[in-house]
Amino acid sequence: MTNKNGISQEAQKDPLKVFDKKLKALKSDNKGHEIEKSSSGMATGLKYASEFSAAVLVGAFFGYLADKYIGTTPWGLLVGLIFGFGAGVINVIRAAKEGMNG
């Protein structure tokens, strides 16, 4: 039963119990709407850093091999580093797009 101000008698006696009931009802309604986060920001950053550095290292390795067997020192290493850097940037962009979509 409510008084002329619209406040129930139960709320007049103990407003904390009423608030607790409302809060529990809201929590039970919102349990299905929680957002699950698959990975932390640090994990994502480490993933991007490892993909980028791996591409640069692979490019440098192949450039070094080209220098060793063809004898184009230091041009093979420089070209390999440039291609590795480009591949690393493309990998990071691709991984970032996948992270935004999924």
Bridge partners, residue 2, by sequence: 8
How much of the chain exceeds pLDDT 70, in percent? Answer: 77
Residue with tokens 């957002």: 35
Given this model, what pLDDT does residue 29 score? 72
**Tens digits of residue pLDDT in 14-45:** 777 888 888 888 877 766 655 556 678 898 99
Tallying the residues shown for the chain, one arrives at: 102
Q: How many CB atoms lie within 10 A of CB 12?
A: 12
What pTM value is reported for the model? 0.60
User: What CA–CA distance (Å, rounded) separates 47 from 29?
Assistant: 36
Residue 64 contacts residue 77 (beta carbons within 8 Å): yes
Domain ranges of the chain: 1-34, 41-101
Strands (E), the chain: none
**Residue 2: strand, helix, or coil:** strand
